[in-house]
Amino acid sequence: MDMNEIKEIFFQECEEQLAELESGLLKLNDGDRDPETVNAVFRAVHSIKGGAGAFGLDDLVAFAHVFETTLDCVRSNKLEPNQDVLKVMLKSADVLADLTNAARDGGYVDESRSRALVKELEALANGEVPVASAEAPKAQPKPAVAAPTDDSGFQPIPFNFDGFDEDETPADAGQVYEISFKPRRDLYSKGNEAALLLRDLSRIGEMSINCDLESLPDLDKLDPEESYVSWMISLRTTRSEDEIRAVFEFAEWDCDLEVRAAEASPSGEELPMVPVPFDLSILNDDASAEAPAPSPTRDAAETPAAAAETATEASKMAAAAARVERKESAAATAAAAAASNTAAAAAGQTIRVDLDRVDRLINLVGELVINQAMLSQSVIENDTTGTSSINMGLEELQQLTREIQDSVMAIRAQPVKPVFQRMSRIVREVADMVGKSIRLVTEGENTEVDKTVIDKLAEPLTHMIRNAVDHGIETPEKREAAGKDPEGTIKLTAKHRSGRIVIELVDDGAGINRERVRQKAIDNDLIAADANLTDEEIDNLIFAPGFSTADKISDISGRGVGMDVVKRSIQALGGRISISSRPGQGSTFTMSLPLTLAVLDGMVVTVAGQTLVVPLTAIVETLQPEAAAVHSFGANQRLISIRNSFCPLVDVGRILNFRSTQANPVEGVALLVESEGGGQRALMVDAIQGQRQVVIKSLEANYTHVPGIAAATILGDGRVALILDVDAVVAASRGQSLKPEMSLAATG
Amino acid sequence: MAAKKAASGTLKLSPTMDLNEASALHAKLLSMRGGNIVIDASQVERLGVQCAQVLVAGARAWQADKKSYVVKQASDAFAKTMQLIGIDAEHLVAKEI
Amino acid sequence: MKKKVLTVDDSRTIRNMLLVTLNNAGFETFQAEDGVEGLEVLEGANPDVIVTDINMPRLDGFGFIEGVRRNEKYRAVPILVLTTESDAEKKNRARQAGATGWIVKPFDPAKLIDAIERVTA
């Protein structure tokens, strides 16, 4: 793993933390006062700040720092998280998200907004807390402020740990310091060790030491954990006094320490104290006299005592000590090493997998499904008996393949929660802009759907939410006048229904103004002035291309695009959308989407010699037209009567330009399809080959977008079949041409 | 070799002579009072000041008892640390006088 | 023998950084995600030094340090606090809980290794 990978992990983690932050703030907003909620919110910001600091993302650090400081005031009960405070916090969470995105891939950050929020956050922190604790946040968002440094204490200084080889400190240079060091009991109980401090001290200069054992009590009165010994140290070094003190950084509270520069002494003069070298020959002499078992290897212990006695340099002392006999202690480490295999990190319930890997697997399983179908087909063609064990085996293989496919698809399934969470920010921002007060209620956030669907869901959903806030919900004044709660409610729900995901967006606003919609449609030549439309048909006019009820195109509901764009995006996903509205009580948008974009249940049909797949979800029924039921209408239009109602008959071959003249309906099959809001159509095809699940291959990825065609697939016999875009075909039949730019499929 | 003092024991120091070990070492030494002692420092990898304190106090106690107290086969780490913290070998020896 | 380090931090980013830095520096690394897990894995890890964050769910760094210091076997293990808190109050609380030293974030590999070297033999 390298730093770039860790950075990627950091950004993934940021996403999680931001979600955590937002849901925590929303809980607080709902009156939750659990300290753990506040802590979780604080930790989220803190964690982002920590990681950002490690990667030098200064803007992010600076903003997170100010945010964190204010949150800390809430955490320590210095600041009451009322609605006003939370409003600022929620906005800050949004800016933090923007800054994170900007750091990740240079997204847009509204700097004036972030500056304004920094001021607001600081005001909150300063307004409520004593001056003393409010001085921390000084960071500004834009100028590259370094991560907050430790200005109250010590800045670690890098030490050279090369030890005795260090010749930066020649004997004739530097200043001699006299250091008195007396550790207290706490120094040891907190895990510090005087011996290590002395070691580090010896590394920054030439040291001689005098150990004071005066206060060491008798063995039986001794408390083994007490600190009895102290030291007087002479250190000749080129380092400053501060650097010497820095060695004791972790210990300075738990010891008495004095450091003072000794009188300047001529270079080369003896140090004030001459240490006595640790001469093990004394020990070993005694050992030879007294030890019950003579040491067989003690020949090696011939320490040149004379040399050691006069040695004053630490290096020489070390060398002498090193020459002392020592026993190899390799065996001792073996036992300890055995314990180390115990993995410390607990195994989690989830693993993280790179999406590319999952996609590859899904593609491969797709190939497997196709291959299995091809294999089945060729066996059937070559085996006329149809009862062989091969067939049974193939059936099992087919079953297994389907199961593998379902399991693999489940890997990519994800809850819609992140998308829903993003919506609460949209509601906040837009409501703020238009001066409305709106609450977003979400339900079924844990409903799962394929990640590819989720990714494409955000855009149309955002658009619809903006629309609901901007147009759906009335102003507080109007609502009050109508006897409603001045605060509007938008409810966003997700649920599974018959193999699809259904997302509902319900607002309690004014509902569709049908008079106005109708007038607008007439003005825009979408309908005839005297058209007789049902309420439902009028409501669905808002999805018509080029329709917009907003008196002026606002920045809020989109840049000149209306609900038709939403509808097309949903359709591009193989989904449907519809609206129902009750005047004065609000509107409900219902979207139904496939759970995956990878497979599709389709009806395989023939049109002008071509094989097409029609999504099964679009088909209401199939029928064999009788000559008497078909009526010509206008120049090229034909209708078919089905159970006493008329339905436009659409020749798919003609629409797709597979043929130049209309086919004879009686020779073909009609597929009754339901298109979104536009009622039913009967699609004429030449023949039905059967139903099967097909693996969707994107045409855009492999070829280019083809009008009226949603995607392609490979059939069991190896032929490529095109998947029909039913709604595009129906739209085309209404007289709209199949122009590439009409379809939004390419924008996904 | 006729009857010298038979009551003599060996104390093997553990590799990690830290805060925890100081109490254990103290207890062991107290239990071995009265006889000669050989302290085997061959396995010592880390030596903390608190254990050094106990060892010095031990040497003094043995000296007071007029029993022998010997550190043998000191490991490199043992010797270096003692030297670093300024405790000379003399402080770790008691002679049977 | 490799020195063993137990790191306790709830941030996946920091955990990964610690892991990479410590492994590169030749340490054997054990990791836990919060104080509770830190105390649980103490026995298996048998660390020479512990590096812990302060702000963590379930059991924060202060509680974790106190837990280690109460543990008969591991109470002497040096504990370094990894924290962005630079103010004296937080350091003080960590020290009172029994911290050996601290490393002020932003995370810097050199600072981390330095601090570990300082408190271990």
| Per-residue H/E/C for A513-581 | CHHHHHHHHHHCCCCCCCCCCCHHHHHHHHHCCCCCCCCCCCCCCCCCCCHHHHHHHHHHCCCEEEEEE
Lowest model confidence (mean pLDDT) among A250-259, A634-643, C1-10:
A634-643
* Cβ atoms of A383 and A392 closer than 8 Å: no
Superfamily of domain A3-134: HPT domain (1.20.120.160)
pLDDT at C5: 93
Residues of chain C with Cβ-Cβ distance to A243 below 8 Å are none
Q: Say whether domain B8-92 belongs to CATH 3.30.750.24.
A: yes
- The span from the CA of B76 to the CA of B41, in Å, is 9
Kindly list the residues from chain C whose CB atom is less than 8 angstroms away from the CB atom of residue B45.
121
Q: How far is CA A686 from the centre of its chain?
A: 49
Dihedral sign for Cα atoms in the order A729, A734, A736, A741: negative
On whether any CB of chain A is under 8 Å from the CB of B73, the answer is yes
Residue A476 contacts by C-beta under 8 Å, 6 or more apart in sequence?
A435, A436, A437, A486, A487
Phi, psi of A92 (to 5 degrees): -65, -35
Q: What is the pLDDT of residues A418-464, one digit of tens each?
A: 888 888 888 988 888 888 889 899 998 888 888 888 888 888 898 88
Q: Is residue A573 within 8 Å of residue A593, measured between CB atoms?
A: yes
Q: Which of C1, C13, C119 to mutate to test the interface with A (most CBs of A within 10 A)?
A: C13
Name which residue leads in pLDDT, A153 or B7.
B7
Nearest Cα to Cα of residue A290 among B4, B73, B63, B41: B4
Residue A285: predicted pLDDT: 44
Q: Is the pLDDT of residue A74 over 90?
A: no
Q: Is B31 helix (H, G, I), strand (E, B) or coil?
A: helix
Is B42 in contact with A278 (Cβ distance < 8 A)?
no
A329 burial level (CB within 10 Å; 0-12, 13-18, 19+): middle
- Residue B74 near residue B44, CB atoms below 8 Å: yes
Residues of chain A with C-beta less than 8 angstroms from the C-beta of C10: 43, 47
Give the closest of C45, C79, C106 to A54, CB-based.
C106
**Comparing A163-172, A590-599, B73-82, C112-121, which segment has the lowest mean pLDDT?**
A163-172
Q: Which of A3, A9, A340 has the CB atom closest to C4's CB atom?
A: A340
- pLDDT given for residue A344 in this prediction: 36
The answer to whether the CB atoms of A195 and B85 lie below 8 A apart is yes
Partners of residue A640 on adjacent β-strands: A630, A647
Whether the pLDDT of residue C51 is over 90: the answer is yes
Q: How many CB pairs under 8 A join A and C?
A: 153
Confidence class for position A732, pLDDT limits 50, 70, 90: confident
How is A62-106 classified by DSSP, letter by letter?
HHHHHHHHHHHHHHTTSS---HHHHHHHHHHHHHHHHHHHHHHH-
Nearest to A275 by CA among A203, A229, A230, A211: A211
Of B10, B45, B57, the CB nearest to A329: B45
Report the relative pairing of strands A599-607 and A637-642 from DSSP bridges: unpaired
Domain made up of A163-261: CATH architecture: 2-Layer Sandwich (3.30)
> A652-703 pLDDT, tens per residue?
888 888 888 777 878 888 898 876 555 678 899 998 988 887 877 777 666 7
- Say yes or no to pLDDT of A21 above 60: yes
Domain edges within chain B: 8-92
Residue B22: its chain A contacts at CB < 8 A? 224-225
**Minimal C-alpha gap between B47 and chain C (Å):** 9
Give the closest residue to A564 by CA, choosing from A581, A588, A552, A548.
Answer: A548
In this prediction, residues A45-68 reach a mean pLDDT of 87
Q: Is the pLDDT of residue A294 over 50?
A: no
**C78 contacts in chain B (CB < 8 Å):** none
Q: What residues make up the domain containing C94?
A: 4-119
Q: Does the structure show a pLDDT above 90 at A730?
A: no
Q: First vs last Cα of chain B: how many Å apart?
A: 19
Instruction: Determine the pLDDT at residue B49.
Output: 92
Residues in chain B: 97
Whichever domain contains C71, its CATH number is: 3.40.50.2300
What number is the average pLDDT over the span C28-45?
90
C115: nearest Cα among C50, C35, C33: C50
Q: How far apart are CA B89 and CA A540, in angstroms?
A: 98
- C-alpha torsion angle, residues A265, A270, A273, A274 (rounded to 10): 170
Give the model's confidence band at B7: pLDDT under 50 very low, under 70 low, under 90 confident, else very high: low
B47 shares contact with chain A (CB less than 8 Å) = yes
Which of A161-165, A578-582, A614-618 is the least confident region? A161-165
CA distance A289 to A397: 86
- Cβ of A56 within 8 Å of Cβ of C106? The answer is yes
Chain C: partners with 3+ C-beta pairs within 8 Å? A, B
Domains in chain A: boundaries: 3-134, 163-261, 356-413, 419-594, 599-747
- A480-513: b (≥16 Cβ within 10 Å) or e: eeeebeeebbbbbbbeeeeebbbbbbbbbbbbbe
Chain B residues near residue C75 by CB distance under 8 angstroms: 19-20
Number of domains into which chain C is organized: 1
Residues in contact with C26: Cβ distance below 8 Å, sequence separation at least 6, in sequence order: C2, C3
What is the least distance, in Å, from the CA of B45 to any CA of chain C? 9
- Radius of gyration from C-alpha coordinates of chain B: 13
**Among residues 4-23 of chain B, which lie with CB inside 8 Å of chain A?**
8, 10, 15, 18-19, 22-23
Question: Is residue C105 less than 8 Å (CB to CB) from chain A?
Answer: yes
Are the C-beta atoms of C88 and C116 separated by less than 8 Å?
no
- A193 and C119 in contact by Cβ < 8 A? yes
Q: Are A696 and A599 in contact (CB under 8 A)?
A: yes
The b-or-e profile of A121-146 (16+ CB within 10 A means b, else e) is bbebbbebbeeebbebbebebeeebe
Q: Give which of C81, C109, C107, C111 is closest to C96, Cα–Cα.
A: C81
| CATH architecture for the domain at A599-747 | Beta Barrel (2.40)
Q: Which of A209, A218, A222, A279 to mutate to test the interface with B (most CBs of B within 10 A)?
A: A222
What integer best gives the mean pLDDT of chain B? 84
Say yes or no to pLDDT of B34 above 60.
yes
Q: Is the pLDDT of residue A28 over 50?
A: yes
Residue type, C11: S
Contact between C5 and C29 under an 8 Å Cβ cutoff? The reply is yes
Write down which chains contact chain A via at least 3 CB pairs under 8 A: B, C
Task: Write out the DSSP string of A617-657.
Answer: GGEEEEE---GGGEEEETTTEEEEEETTEEEEEEEHHHHTT
Please, which pLDDT band fits residue B87 given cuts at 50, 70 and 90? confident
| Cα–Cα distance for residue pair A396/A230, rounded to 1 Å | 82
CB contact under 8 A, B20 and C121: no
Contact between C101 and A156 (Cβ < 8 Å): no
Of A633, A724, A639, give the one whose Cα is nearest residue A675: A724
What is the rounded CA–CA span in Å between residue A548 and residue A134?
Answer: 51
Say which of B19, B20, B46 has its CB closest to residue C121. B46
| Structure confidence at residue A280 (pLDDT) | 53
User: Which one has a higher pLDDT value, A525 or A274?
Assistant: A525
Distance (Å, whole) CA A403 – CA A388: 24
Confidence (pLDDT) at A309: 42
Task: Domain A419-594: give its CATH architecture.
Answer: 2-Layer Sandwich (3.30)
Mapped onto helix, strand or coil, the DSSP state of residue A679 is strand
Distances (CA, A) of A149 to A46, A153, B41: 15, 9, 45
